[in-house]
Chain A
Amino acid sequence: MTTFLFGLAFFLLLNLTAGLGRVIRGPVAVDRMVAAQLFGTTGVGILLILAEAMEEPALRDVGFIFALLAVVVSVAFVKRGWVRGGEGEGDEPPAEEGSR
């Protein structure tokens, strides 16, 4: 069972690494931000699995804090990092994205 759990965590981590490509390639800010949010969700998954596999219940708390605060960065991005109404054509971020 532990082997399976570690395998699952490893698989999720590889997923996360692949998702990094979107953060690096962009091209638009929203792409990077949403990829980073996905990073957070996958990370919480990894933490929950590791809590089970490593028999360390405190890791659930770590995952819980990440899940609770993931929204803060999204909100800061929408409110501060992202100025709506860009001039560059095709740079206009889709209106429905931005928060998780």
Chain B
Amino acid sequence: MEGFLGGLAILVDPWVMLMVFLGTVLGIFVGALPGISGSTTIALMLPMTIAMGPIPAICFLGAIYCAANFGGSITAIMVNAPGDPSASATALEGYKMAEKGQAGLALGMSAVSSAIGGIFSIFVLIIAAPLLARAAYSFGPPEYFALAVFGLSMCAAIGGDSAVKNLIAAALGVLLATIGMDLTTGTERFAFGIDELADGIKFVPVLIGLFAVGEMLDQVVRRAEKAKIIAMDAARVPGMAEFRKCNRSIWLGSVIGTFIGALPALGATTAALIGYNETRRWSKHKEEFGKGSIEGVAGPEAANNAAVGGSMVPTLALGIPGSATTAIILAGLIVQGVRPGPHLFTEQPTLLYAVFASMLAANLFYLGLGLYMAKFFARISLVPPAILWPSVFVLSIIGAYGPDQSMGDVVIMLIAGVVGFLFRRTGFSPAPLIMGLVLGGKMEETLKQSLIIFGDDVSLFATRPIAMTLLAITAVGLLWPLFSRLWRLRVAPR
């Protein structure tokens, strides 16, 4: 509690508070812009935060993360084009409400349920993260290795043939992480004499390229598509009757979102989709779904914002990102010289609790901004793409060039951009690649340390119950679809 109060005290610092406010406004702004997600913005902003110092930088990025999920719901409701992928479930009912002339109510419910979900998950984060960190003190390299493998395997949990594609993207990320000097032997790997590669792949150009430039190139191809915009009334605070109706959906969404968010790799989008399905399953008004159900807005909105706090639990306590966006925030922490993990809670508690407090403040900011300025933010979707996307490209160039003032990094960013574009066209997601890139180094390091501890005897992993449990869950999770398919073939009538 003392640490948290210390964190709250940091919010008295006008500079930090300004950063949280700017992060919130920027988050809603970009969240409302179809195509630019929170992760893209955080990747773009990362280089600018280097000069800020760790606390304002992380508070700024955390505020963007919190607010972008809410911002995405504005265009999901108004133009049926989710500004952020996590708002895709909101569009299902929100746009139908807008068509019925209830856009203001949908936006109001979205703001309130988002804030409740977000604040709920931050309290869970405040309680659960230190407990998880304390448990993680008993973790050695084998446990961290197993945890990293488990985290990457979760990329497969999205389903369809994308499960294999996600695993491929994650493996490519791990392979990219091996580029540069091997720290144990001093051998240069995959650098091919190129100076920019000798120190390894830098996070910032790759992140900007994959997310911002990849999306921009994709938008070039899709520039003929146009969204239909609906006239709106101002957002309004839902009344007691609407709250009573949505009460169950909001809490269900908050709990589901926090839980899903805390699982490595599964972020706000998955949380929102599961939140929507469960809201419909448990609703007393199932017949309203598909026709503009207010519960169908409240549930997924609470879930996608709750996933923000949930995903920060493993990120801060274990250094294992809970989502693509937290993987980028994790990269931001590393760039700032902060190494997330259990020791953070004893070494830099103020930084941690400042992050928690700033996220709390961001939720309150966007609640106010969402209720009173939603109409203004909805206009953001009117920014002409011919101005928006070329500007994103220019900002990406400066973002990649900025940290080391190297045109080589710009070239790496452009290559990553082409990869991001090809990924989008072939049904791959860039998020698992980032997870692999962030976790790859840790995975190799802990595997090497484990083998040194075990005297090169891999079977000794069996003597570590936590590591074995995690590896067993990973194996079952990966092989389950195969076994279930074989089982279906066996029992199917011939």
| A and B from one complex | no
Interface residues of A (CB under 8 A from B): none
